[in-house]
Every structure is written in structure tokens, then in C-alpha cells.
């Protein structure tokens, strides 16, 4: 017997079994593109699949998650940011290729940048001070993401040396960066909880921001700055003792990357989503997850139940867009971010979230700003700031719509609510199989 040939055939069989099957269909639904994925199940693979779609800024309008034994089957109804079906063959091919390799994990590239991680107490002008220190230390900010929640700030900033254009590796330089940034974050009253770190580690930026805020226990803190129009998401958790599941229901305002934020938090808390139904209508989202611990047990105490509720509420709120969206497009230069954020601070504007990027020699930055108390900023003040920075460079942008009204005759499926009557597991699985197109009827 040719054992080497047998070994090759076995490896091919293992590869076929572990490689996800991906089907992208534009003919089934008139309003969205259907993306179906089925594969061998492993912890975190749902998050990998959702990450592929959200990294492309696609909106997930509906989704059905079903896992049976060591296999999972998911279907996603997706659109672009304008609510249109996907027609670009390059995008479709990228989705197929990326989802086809999620079983092996996704690789993130640092592109020769040094990562700075910062957490501390948020205050007006803090970001201005951070960018001023980086400019003074000859650090060129290439990319950055800043989140604030419940009076805390978390930021992941990617920099390179201004002179050499290389990652910052000199230990003395790194120590100076950490020391000065830690002093800025401490301020007068945050000596114990301010944290900084510098590394060449490669990570998914938004997942890391969730992890940083989770480690900072932002979900336990009371909000300091909050817009009066904000409303907290409703999260309920019940145990389904008969089948050993904990059932989570989330009702909140819909927005981009919402599903990613929730699945990311559940995954990092070591929960496994076995079944789920996600549905959006107008600007509302309804999500139901059937979960267990990674060891197969459900939530087992009232304290844990309350913690899950707090953490999922925080996951929804961290990325929620608070304030006026300002978009900066300007030729990049050393100290540009320090100058812009100093102008915000001098005019009493607080940055609640920021997305910093650089393309070629152009800075493409997005800021969400409120007044110092967390309320909507005065439009006259915004215009004054725009005049100082440049009307053509800094523009007020409306938030992109993440929902679109469906035709009145479109068939809608009723989604169960864990707070009402729990469905039987057989009914749930049959419904998900029907939505996946694997059976003819779910009745």
C-alpha cells in the first residue's frame, strides 16, 4: 500500500471538510444580497465571518445562525451603505475568498507601524494633549481609532518615526513615549487607572478597542458625559433549562457594525453562539442569541446574568455616534492632528469618537464632537471652528443611513423574543434550516 498517497488523500479530505462552503446569491431577495456560509465549527468562527462583512462596511439587515454538533450554517442578508445589493464582482470575489479561509483565522498586517494603546478618564481636550505629545516626540500618526464611553477613553494609535518613516523600536524612545502619555492620561485624578503600552503587535483594531474597554470595566461605570437624546439598548437574559441554553435578546437602534460589536463581546467573554436570529426594520434592530459557555454550560448565576447585560449594553453604546460628525480632508503634515484637536479644545468641543487615517499624503479624518457637557454643539460654534481650520477642509457630514424601508408587500418573518415565550429548539433549528434554503418548509 502506498502510504504517502493515502496520506495525501487524507490531507485533501481534511482540507475539504474544514474549508467553509460559501454561496453568494443575488436572485433570492429583491432588497439584499444573500451570503451563506457552512463549515466545521470552532470557537470564534462566527466572529471571523461577521468581521469579513463589517470590515467592508456592509450592512447586515438580517441573519440566521444555526449550529448542530460540530457544524455551523449561517446566512446573512447584506447591502452596501446605500442600501443596495452587491454587484461589484471584485467585492463578491473578495468575500468568497475571505469567508473560504475563516476556519484558519484572519491575519492582520501592521504595515510597519508601532501600536500605542491608551486608556484613561476622558476629559475635554485630552485628545489634543495626546496628539501634541506625539508630535513633540517626532511620532507621525498614520492611523488611529478613539472611543469614549461612560467617562472612559480607549485609543489605538498607529505611528511611525517622523524622520526615518520606520516603526519605533528604540527602547529609550518608547519609554519616553509611554511616560509622557501616561502623565497626560493621569491628569489630576486618574493616577491608578491610566494605562499606556507600546508594541509592534498585530491586532484587529476594533476588536482590540472592545477588549481594552472591557478590561477597563467601562461597563460598570456611571456615565459622566451623555447626550440627553441617548437611549440605552434593552438586553434580557433568560435560561432555557430544558436544553441548557441561555437566551439573550437585544433591542436597540440599528447602526453599522452592530452585530460585530455584540458577537465580538460574547466571543471574548468565552461564550459560544449556537443559534441566533437577527432582524432590522426601519431604524430598529432585534437580535436573539442562544448561547453557552465554551465548556457547554449556560449562565449559572444572577451576578453573571447582570454582567452579561451590562457588557452587551456597553458593546452597543461604545460605537454609538454621539454629536456632530466632522470630516477633515487635508494635506498631511507634522502636527496636523495636534493643531486640529487644539482648535476643538479652545472652542469647548469634546471629541467623543475619532477615526484617523492617511492615504498617500492626505489626512482623512472623522471626528464626532459635542459641547463640553456632552450636549449637541452650537451650530455657530461649529462654523467658527470650520472657518479656523478651513471651510473646504473640514465639513459637517450627515451620518450614513443604515436602514432602508422595505416594499410593503415584502414578506417578513416574525422573530421570537426571549422575554416572551421561548421557542422549542426543534422549531428554531427548522426555521434556520428553512432560511438557509436547506428545507422547503419550516412549518
Q: All domains of the chain, ordered by start, with CATH?
A: 16-107+244-300+413-435 (no CATH), 115-224+320-396 (3.30.70.260)
pLDDT of residue 305: 97
Residue 179 pLDDT level (bands cut at 50, 70, 90): very high
Could you give the CA distance from residue 289 to residue 278 in angstroms, rounded to a whole number?
A: 9
Least confident of 13-27, 138-152, 279-293: 13-27
Identify the residue with better confidence: 111 or 17. Answer: 111
Identify the residue with better confidence: 49 or 101. Answer: 49
Residue 229 pLDDT level (bands cut at 50, 70, 90): very low
Could you give the CA distance from residue 353 to residue 322 in angstroms, rounded to a whole number?
A: 8
pLDDT of residue 426: 45
Could you give the CA distance from residue 355 to residue 326 in angstroms, rounded to a whole number?
A: 11
pLDDT of residue 192: 58
pLDDT at 441 over 50: no
Give the torsion through C-alpha atoms of 131, 135, 141, 144, to 10 deg: -10
**DSSP per-residue letters across 64-126:** EEEEETTEEEEEEEEE-TTSPPP--HHHHHHHHHHHTTGGG------TT-EEEEEEEE--TTH
pLDDT at 15 over 90: no
User: Which position has the grid cell 498607529?
Assistant: 158
Least confident of 117-126, 140-149, 199-208, 407-416: 407-416
Average pLDDT, the chain: 84
* Sign of the Cα pseudo-torsion (110, 111, 114, 116, in order): negative
Could you give the CA distance from residue 50 to residue 257 in angstroms, rounded to a whole number?
A: 9
pLDDT of residue 71: 85
pLDDT of residue 164: 86
pLDDT of residue 72: 87
Residues 392-401 have a mean pLDDT of: 80
pLDDT digits (tens, 9 = 90+) for 87-141: 999 999 999 999 988 766 555 555 678 999 999 999 999 999 999 999 999 999 9
pLDDT of residue 19: 75
pLDDT of residue 264: 96
pLDDT of residue 225: 46
* SS3 call for 175: helix
Within 294-380, strands assigned E span 324-331, 349-359, 362-371
pLDDT at 82 over 60: yes
The set of residues, in sequence order, having a beta carbon less than 8 Å from that of 26 and lying 6+ positions away, is: 33, 34, 85, 86, 87
Could you give the CA distance from residue 314 to residue 130 in angstroms, rounded to a whole number?
A: 25
Residue 368 pLDDT level (bands cut at 50, 70, 90): very high
Residues 373-380 have a mean pLDDT of: 92
Identify the residue with better confidence: 428 or 388. Answer: 388
Identify the residue with better confidence: 355 or 4. Answer: 355
Strand partners, 246: 239, 291
Amino acid at each position: 500500500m502506498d502510504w504517502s498517497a493515502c496520506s495525501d488523500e487524507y490531507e485533501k479530505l481534511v482540507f475539504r471538510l474544514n474549508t467553509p462552503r460559501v454561496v453568494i446569491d443575488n436572485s433570492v431577495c429583491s432588497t439584499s444580497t444573500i451570503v451563506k456560509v457552512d463549515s466545521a465549527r470552532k470557537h470564534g468562527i462566527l466572529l471571523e465571518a461577521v468581521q469579513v462583512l463589517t470590515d467592508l462596511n456592509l450592512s447586515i439587515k438580517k441573519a440566521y445562525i444555526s449550529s448542530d454538533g460540530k457544524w455551523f450554517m449561517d446566512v446573512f442578508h447584506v447591502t452596501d451603505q446605500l442600501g443596495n445589493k452587491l454587484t461589484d464582482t471584485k467585492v463578491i470575489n473578495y468575500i468568497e475568498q475571505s469567508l473560504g479561509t475563516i476556519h484558519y483565522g484572519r491575519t492582520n498586517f501592521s504595515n510597519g507601524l508601532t501600536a500605542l494603546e491608551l486608556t484613561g478618564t476622558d476629559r475635554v481636550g485630552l485628545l489634543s494633549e495626546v496628539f501634541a505629545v506625539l508630535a513633540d516626540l517626532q511620532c507621525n500618526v498614520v492611523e488611529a481609532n478613539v472611543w469614549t464611553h461612560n467617562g472612559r477613553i480607549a485609543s489605538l494609535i498607529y505611528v511611525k518615526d517622523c524622520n526615518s518613516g520606520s516603526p519605533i523600536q528604540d527602547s529609550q524612545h518608547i519609554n519616553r513615549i509611554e511616560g509622557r502619555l501616561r502623565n497626560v492620561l493621569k491628569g489630576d485624578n486618574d493616577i491608578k487607572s491610566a494605562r499606556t503600552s507600546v508594541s509592534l503587535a498585530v491586532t484587529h483594531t476594533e476588536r482590540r478597542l472592545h477588549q481594552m474597554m472591557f478590561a477597563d470595566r467601562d461597563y460598570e461605570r456611571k456615565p459622566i458625559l451623555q447626550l440627553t437624546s441617548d437611549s440605552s439598548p434593552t438586553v434580557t437574559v433568560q435560561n432555557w433549562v430544558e436544553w441548557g441554553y441561555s437566551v439573550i435578546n437585544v433591542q436597540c437602534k440599528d447602526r453599522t457594525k452592530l452585530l460585530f460589536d455584540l458577537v465580538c463581546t460574547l466571543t471574548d467573554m468565552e461564550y459560544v453562539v449556537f443559534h441566533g436570529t437577527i432582524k432590522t426594520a426601519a431604524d430598529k434592530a432585534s437580535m436573539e442569541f442562544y448561547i453557552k459557555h465554551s465548556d457547554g454550560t449556560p449562565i449559572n448565576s444572577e451576578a453573571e446574568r447582570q454582567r452579561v447585560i451590562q457588557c452587551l449594553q456597553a458593546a452597543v453604546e461604545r460605537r454609538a455616534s454621539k454629536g456632530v460628525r466632522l470630516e477633515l480632508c487635508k494635506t498631511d503634515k507634522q502636527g496636523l492632528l495636534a493643531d486640529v484637536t487644539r482648535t476643538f479644545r479652545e472652542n469647548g468641543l469634546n471629541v467623543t469618537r475619532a477615526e484617523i487615517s492617511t492615504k498617500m499624503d492626505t489626512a482623512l479624518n472623522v471626528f464626532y464632537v459635542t459641547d463640553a457637557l456632552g450636549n449637541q454643539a452650537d451650530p455657530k460654534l461649529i462654523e467658527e471652528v470650520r472657518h479656523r481650520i478651513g471651510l473646504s477642509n473640514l465639513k459637517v457630514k450627515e451620518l450614513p443611513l443604515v436602514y432602508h424601508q422595505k416594499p410593503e408587500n415584502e414578506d417578513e418573518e416574525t422573530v421570537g423574543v426571549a422575554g416572551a415565550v421561548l421557542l422549542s429548539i426543534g422549531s428554531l433549528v427548522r426555521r434556520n434550516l428553512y432560511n438557509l434554503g436547506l428545507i422547503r418548509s419550516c412549518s
